[in-house]
């Protein structure tokens, strides 16, 4: 196997990995604030892509305006989801939460199918599609956009969580919800914030990946699950280890698809997921923490 | 105990007399599916409703049963009567092996792990083209033959499927009210407390997981032999969700509830013909509404509702 080919697979793996990382951080933020694994996370990724499509084609908005618009709409859906489904739940046992977020995800997906139909849609790349040569490999400008936007989001995320009052309050919730409530943090508001942030992040991930992979009403399932896999590798952290988890997953998947078999590409992520859950449920980098299991 | 037997006898009578009314019609075919889905819903309910362990990969076990049976009877031309138990044993062993590490996980993590397992199995059904025929499916699976009767019509299949389903039901009802059933419910409520009282929760969970997989595999084999054609599309993630919906709608921890849920969700699309592709929206909405407003499912939800209304009337009567 030539070096060039491996470089090519690694480079394209890194950009898909960045997407997984964004989705994975979305999972972790909600999980840390609420203890919920939001099975509907992938649907926000789908919404991001498809809403941008509508903004571009129906409303004829320029790209720079279409992106914030669709992120805003997806975030509103996230808020509604928290308000209408999660908050009124009378018996928030884990099984009920799993079932209700699955129900929500199916509902959102079904409504998207009603609105956008079953076809696959393409979104134009942000800045042309002339390939750029790096060593013996080539990448598209969109790959660079993905990496850059992911980087920006991670930095903003870090600043929010460590240098603002509400970010610090959210971290307090993730350590101990009751204690956070006792020192005067409005836990319910933090839960709402966590849904806002992660649905917005999911939507952005969906928008930046759409020009590369196309988008359809059902892309959310796979992307969501792989994002979850990235979060598990990262030990459900909303920081750098989930990013590393996403990148590892993206590169392994891309190499596996290229060198072994493209048919089993999707299986790779789930085999990694199962192995990790069996052997190191605390994540690849985490210390043993029996609470998580 | 007597009441339980009476209830089951009534149910048996109801099921066995149904063909009198529907024979010959298209509905007969749908009722065969109600039987298969009832079996699957009961299997999942034993795990989810009694032991409190979620599985989002049961369509995978269902598919394994179907494919193992299908491959053994077509490629290796074995008799279905040999293929079905072999498939069930293989699936049971596999579920037991996977169950050991997977059932250490709880709640959301268990949900994700079983979901991953289901998707891996789905990918395998699609990709092992030499064995399964891949996405285009496996055809020419023989019907079951017993004492000279070939089960090749809807009415015959109805009796075959429902015969097995009723046995599974009786077995599950018995299991639920036995010592094991009580132990399962104890594990559901508090694993630690159950363990303190001498229940080996870890082994028990694996056993019920394997049993649930065996029943699903059996349902899969029967499905393959009645349909004579199978393709991976029937065993995907969506079907796992459909099973979950059946169990939740009918009522967690109620065997008759599983029948109710399976019947409702199998018949519903037939009445919603126009909304062919959109039934998935209804599933999603149903799941959410049930969990929010009727967590006990239809079986417990309706009596509760009546009681509430009745109580309110009585109270206003006093005032």
- CATH code for position A122: 1.10.3470
The tens digit of pLDDT for each residue in A189-224 reads 898 999 999 999 999 999 999 998 889 988 888 899
pLDDT reading at A292 higher than 50: no
Residue B319 has pLDDT above 50, yes or no: no
Residue B23: the pLDDT is: 65
The answer to whether residue A292 is domain-embedded is no
| Residues in A touching B244 (Cβ below 8 Å) | 99, 102
pLDDT of A293 > 50? The answer is: no
Q: Which of A179-183, B5-9, B108-112, B216-220 has the highest mean pLDDT?
A: B216-220
Dihedral sign of CA atoms A101, A107, A110, A112 in order: negative
Cβ-based neighbour number of residue B270 at 10 Å: 12
Range with lowest mean pLDDT among A145-149, A150-154, B130-134 = B130-134
What the block records as the tokens of B169 is 């039901």
Task: Tell whether B310 lies on the interface with A, counting CB pairs under 8 A.
Answer: no
> Residue A27: inside a domain, yes or no?
yes
Q: Can you tell me the ipTM of this complex?
A: 0.83
Higher pLDDT, A21 or B284: A21
pLDDT band for position B254 (cuts 50, 70, 90): confident
The H or E element spanning position A45 is helix A41-57
Is the confidence at residue B296, as pLDDT, over 80? no
Q: Which chain B residues are closer than 8 Å to A91 by Cβ?
A: 295
Encode pLDDT of A263-276 as tens digits: 788 888 888 888 88
Q: Helical H runs in chain B?
A: 2-22, 27-45, 58-74, 80-102, 107-127, 129-132, 154-176, 179-189, 191-196, 201-227, 237-250, 255-271, 279-293, 297-318
Q: Is B104 on the interface with A (CB under 8 A)?
A: yes
pLDDT tens digits along B68-87? 999 999 888 888 899 999 99
Q: A270–B120: do the CB atoms touch at under 8 Å?
A: yes
How far away is chain A from the Cα of B212, in angstroms, using its nearest Cα?
A: 18
Tokens at A252, concatenated: 């392994």
What mean pLDDT, rounded, does chain B reach?
86
Domain of A198? 3-287
Residue A218 lies in a domain: yes
> Residue A138 pairs with which residues in a beta bridge?
A133
Percent of chain A whose pLDDT exceeds 90: 39
Contacts of B273 (CB under 8 A, 6+ apart): none
Task: Assess if residue A39 is contained within a domain.
Answer: yes
Closest residue in chain B to residue A31, using alpha carbons only = B108
A71 domain residue, yes or no = yes
Quote the number of domains for chain A: 1
Contact assessment for residue A168 and residue A161, using Cβ atoms and an 8 Å cutoff: yes
Nearest C-alpha in B relative to A228: B112
Interchain proximity A99–B248, CB inside 8 Å: yes
Residue A286, pLDDT > 80, answer no
Among chain A residues, the shortest Cα distance to B51 is held by: A95
- Report d(CA B105, CA B101) in Å as an integer: 8
Q: What is the pLDDT of residues B138-191, one digit of tens each?
A: 888 888 877 777 787 778 888 889 999 999 999 999 998 888 888 888 888 888
A291 pLDDT higher than 50:
no
Looking at the domain assignment, is residue A13 inside a domain?
A: yes
pTM score, two decimals?
Answer: 0.86
Average pLDDT, chain A: 87
What are the tokens at A201?
A: 């992040």
Residues of A with Cβ-Cβ distance to B127 under 8 angstroms: 261, 263-264
Give the per-residue pLDDT at B314: 65
Lowest mean pLDDT: which of A56-60, A245-249, B44-48, B275-279?
A: B275-279
Three-class SS state of B23: coil
Most confident of A165-174, B213-222, B245-254: B213-222
Taking contacts as CB-CB distances below 8 angstroms, the residues of chain A near B248 are: 99
User: Does residue B89 register a pLDDT over 60?
Assistant: yes
Q: Is the confidence at residue A284, as pLDDT, over 90?
A: no
CA distance A177 to B126: 44
Cα four-point dihedral sign B173, B177, B180, B182 = positive
């Amino acid at each position: 196997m030539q070096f060039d080919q491996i470089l090519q697979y690694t480079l394209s793996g890194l950009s898909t990995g960045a997407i997984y990382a964004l989705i994975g951080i979305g999972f972790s933020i909600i999980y840390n604030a609420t203890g919920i694994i939001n099975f509907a996370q992938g649907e926000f990724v789908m919404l991001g892509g498809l809403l941008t499509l509508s903004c571009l084609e129906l409303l004829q908005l320029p790209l720079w305006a279409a992106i914030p618009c669709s992120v805003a709409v997806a975030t509103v859906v996230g808020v509604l989801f928290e308000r209408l489904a999660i908050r009124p739940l009378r018996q928030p046992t884990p099984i009920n939460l799993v079932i209700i977020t699955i129900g929500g995800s199916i509902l959102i997906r079904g409504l998207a199918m009603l609105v956008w139909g079953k076809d696959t849609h393409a979104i134009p790349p942000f800045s042309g599609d002339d390939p750029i040569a790096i060593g013996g490999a080539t990448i598209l400008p969109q790959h660079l956009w993905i990496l850059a936007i992911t980087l920006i989001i991670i930095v903003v995320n870090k600043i929010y969580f460590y240098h603002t009052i509400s970010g610090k309050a959210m971290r307090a919730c993730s350590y101990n919800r009751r204690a956070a409530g006792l020192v005067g943090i409005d836990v319910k508001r933090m839960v709402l914030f966590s849904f806002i942030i992660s649905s917005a992040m999911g939507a952005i991930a969906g928008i930046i990946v759409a020009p590369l992979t196309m988008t359809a009403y059902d892309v959310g399932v796979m992307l969501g699950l792989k994002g979850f896999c990235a979060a598990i590798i990262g030990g459900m952290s909303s920081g750098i280890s989930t990013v590393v988890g996403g990148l590892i997953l993206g590169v392994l998947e891309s190499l596996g698809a290229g060198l072994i078999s493209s048919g089993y590409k999707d299986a790779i992520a789930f085999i990694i997921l199962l192995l990790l859950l069996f052997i190191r449920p605390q994540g690849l980098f985490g210390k043993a923490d029996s609470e998580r299991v | 105990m007597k009441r339980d037997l009476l209830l089951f006898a009534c149910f048996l009578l109801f099921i066995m007399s149904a063909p009198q009314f529907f024979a010959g019609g298209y509905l007969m075919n749908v009722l065969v599916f109600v039987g298969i889905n009832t079996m699957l819903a009961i299997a999942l309910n034993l795990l989810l409703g009694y032991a409190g362990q979620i599985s989002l990969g049961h369509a995978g076990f269902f598919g394994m049963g179907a494919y193992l049976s299908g491959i053994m009877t077509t490629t290796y031309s074995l008799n279905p009567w040999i293929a079905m138990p072999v498939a069930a044993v293989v699936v049971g062993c596999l579920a037991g092996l996977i169950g050991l590490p997977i059932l250490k996980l709880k709640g959301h993590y268990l949900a994700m792990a079983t979901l991953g397992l289901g998707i891996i199995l789905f990918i395998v059904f699609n990709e092992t083209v030499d064995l399964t025929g891949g996405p285009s499916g496996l055809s020419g699976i023989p019907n079951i033959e017993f004492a000279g009767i070939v089960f090749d019509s809807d009415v015959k299949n109805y009796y075959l499927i429902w015969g097995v389903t009723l046995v599974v039901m009786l077995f599950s009802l018995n299991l639920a009210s036995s010592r094991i059933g009580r132990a399962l419910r104890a594990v559901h409520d508090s694993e630690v407390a159950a363990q303190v009282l001498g229940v080996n929760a870890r082994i028990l969970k694996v056993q019920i997981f394997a049993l649930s997989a065996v029943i699903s595999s059996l349902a899969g084999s029967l499905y393959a032999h009645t349909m004579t054609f199978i393709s991976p599309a029937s065993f995907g993630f969506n079907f796992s969700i459909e099973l979950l919906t059946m169990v939740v709608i009918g009522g967690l921890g109620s065997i008759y509830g599983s029948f109710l849920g399976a019947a409702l969700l199998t018949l519903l699309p037939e009445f919603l013909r126009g909304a062919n592709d959109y039934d998935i929206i209804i599933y999603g909405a149903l799941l959410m509404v049930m969990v929010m407003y009727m967590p006990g499912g239809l079986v417990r939800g309706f009596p509760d509702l009546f009681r509430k209304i009745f109580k309110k009337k009585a109270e206003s009567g006093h005032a």
